[in-house]
């Protein structure tokens, strides 16, 4: 897990928006003294453009400006999903407080009244930057946890748990849409011999190379998962049995072409592949896996380094 990074003002960029250049200079010098990076806009339209290019961490927005006021700027920014999480603090004159309800309704997080107290301005800025900083790190940590829960630590592809989640989802989608779905079960031939002869480190490298080579041969719509040990599963949406067999043959050929090097020795390996499809008869995902496993058993029984399809060799 990534360690939580402490708050550091130098990490943050603040956009200051005001149609009076003197106000920009005053606020800018206050923020610069603390270490914040700053950028400026003198109109609402310019502010919107600046947000797109500079991507600030926080916006200090003047409420009353000609042509496009702060409320309109806020509404425009918050309507864009890319900007929704940028905290906006309104800077308002004391006689403009009746607009603050509208400001909060538009998505503002706070306000500062002019003439403002420097400690108050800095405190409000820091409070909302710290909050955003913490939220961003928590989201990053959650993404990392999700990745750990769904991916295989060695190869970086989906793990066995996620295989069944994706498999059930894709299988149900194929039935709803009356579209084919096929499955490949790959087994690295004589993997125990590789481990025994060259060590588990080389065995791990073989599995990683197998995964990387397979990924390069698949489409963006396909799913690749580690089933366990040296067995891998490829889920092929929108793919007939004959198409899946062609993909499997291409995978088998590509994997036979790669090799590892250990102590000046070249190590090659092959795979056996069982192929099956969800058609013509519907079935649960675990049964689909069982069909592929039966085909894989036949491939290994027939000498390995080959592709066997379940329907063609067992049903007929």
190 plus 290 within the same structural domain: yes
| Mean pLDDT of the 153-182 span | 94
pLDDT at 315 (0 to 100): 44
Q: Where does 67-220 have alpha helices with state H? A: 70-78, 100-106, 118-150, 160-176, 191-198, 200-217
176 plus 206 within the same structural domain: yes
108 plus 173 within the same structural domain: no
3-state secondary structure of 17: strand
| Mean pLDDT of the 39-53 span | 95
Residues labelled catalytic: 230
Highest mean pLDDT among 110-114, 178-182, 231-235: 231-235
164 plus 24 within the same structural domain: no
| Mean pLDDT of the 213-227 span | 95
Domain housing 261: 160-315
Nearby residues of 55 by Cβ (< 8 Å), 6 or more positions away: 13
- How confident is the model over 291-316, as pLDDT tens digits? 999 999 999 999 999 999 996 444 43
127 plus 259 within the same structural domain: no
pLDDT at 83 (0 to 100): 92
Considering its fold, how many domains does the chain have in total? Answer: 2
Domain CATH code at residue 108: 3.40.50.2300
**Single residue among 148, 175, 191 that ends a domain in this structure:** 148
pLDDT at 70 (0 to 100): 92
184 plus 132 within the same structural domain: no
113 plus 225 within the same structural domain: no
Distance between CA 210 and CA 255 in Å, rounded? 7
Distance between CA 292 and CA 282 in Å, rounded? 15
24 plus 59 within the same structural domain: yes
Domain CATH code at residue 272: 3.30.70.270
Q: Is residue 154 part of a domain?
A: no
Q: What is the pTM of this model?
A: 0.65
**Single residue among 148, 174, 208 that ends a domain in this structure:** 148
| Mean pLDDT of the 114-123 span | 91
Q: Is residue 279 part of a domain?
A: yes
- For residue 172, the Cα-to-chain-centroid distance in whole angstroms is 24
Least confident span in 51-60, 127-136, 155-164, 277-286: 277-286
pLDDT at 95 over 80: no
**Single residue among 148, 173, 192 that ends a domain in this structure:** 148
Mean predicted lDDT score pLDDT of the chain: 91
pLDDT at 162 over 70: yes
């Amino acid at each position: 897990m990534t360690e939580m990074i402490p708050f550091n003002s130098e990490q943050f960029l603040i956009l200051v928006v005001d149609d009076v250049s003197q106000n920009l200079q005053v606020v800018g010098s206050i923020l610069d003294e603390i270490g914040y990076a700053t950028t400026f806009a003198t109109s609402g339209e310019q502010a919107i453009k600046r947000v797109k290019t500079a991507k600030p961490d926080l916006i200090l927005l003047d409420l009353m400006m000609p042509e496009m006021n702060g409320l309109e700027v806020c509404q425009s920014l918050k309507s864009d999903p890319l900007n929704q999480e940028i905290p906006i603090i309104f800077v308002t004159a004391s006689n403009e407080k009746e607009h603050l309800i509208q400001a909060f309704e538009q998505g503002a997080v706070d306000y500062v009244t002019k003439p403002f107290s420097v400690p108050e301005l800095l405190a409000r800025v820091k409070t909302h930057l710290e909050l955003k900083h913490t939220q961003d790190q928590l989201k990053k940590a959650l993404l990392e946890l999700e990745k750990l829960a769904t991916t295989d630590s060695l190869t970086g592809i989906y793990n066995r748990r996620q295989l069944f989640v994706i498999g059930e989802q894709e299988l149900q989608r194929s039935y709803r849409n009356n579209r084919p779905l096929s499955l490949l079960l790959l087994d690295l031939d004589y993997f125990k011999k590789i481990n025994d002869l060259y060590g588990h480190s080389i065995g791990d490298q073989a599995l990683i190379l197998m995964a990387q080579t397979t990924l390069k041969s698949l489409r963006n719509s396909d799913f690749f998962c580690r089933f366990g040990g040296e067995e891998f599963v490829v889920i092929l949406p929108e793919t007939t049995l004959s198409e899946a067999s062609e993909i499997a043959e291409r995978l088998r050929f590509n994997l036979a072409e790669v090799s590892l090097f250990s102590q000046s020795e070249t190590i090659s390996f092959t795979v056996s592949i069982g192929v099956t499809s969800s058609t013509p008869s519907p079935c649960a995902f675990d049964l689909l896996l069982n069909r592929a496993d039966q085909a894989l058993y036949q491939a290994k029984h027939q000498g390995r380094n080959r592709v066997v399809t379940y329907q063609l060799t067992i049903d007929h």
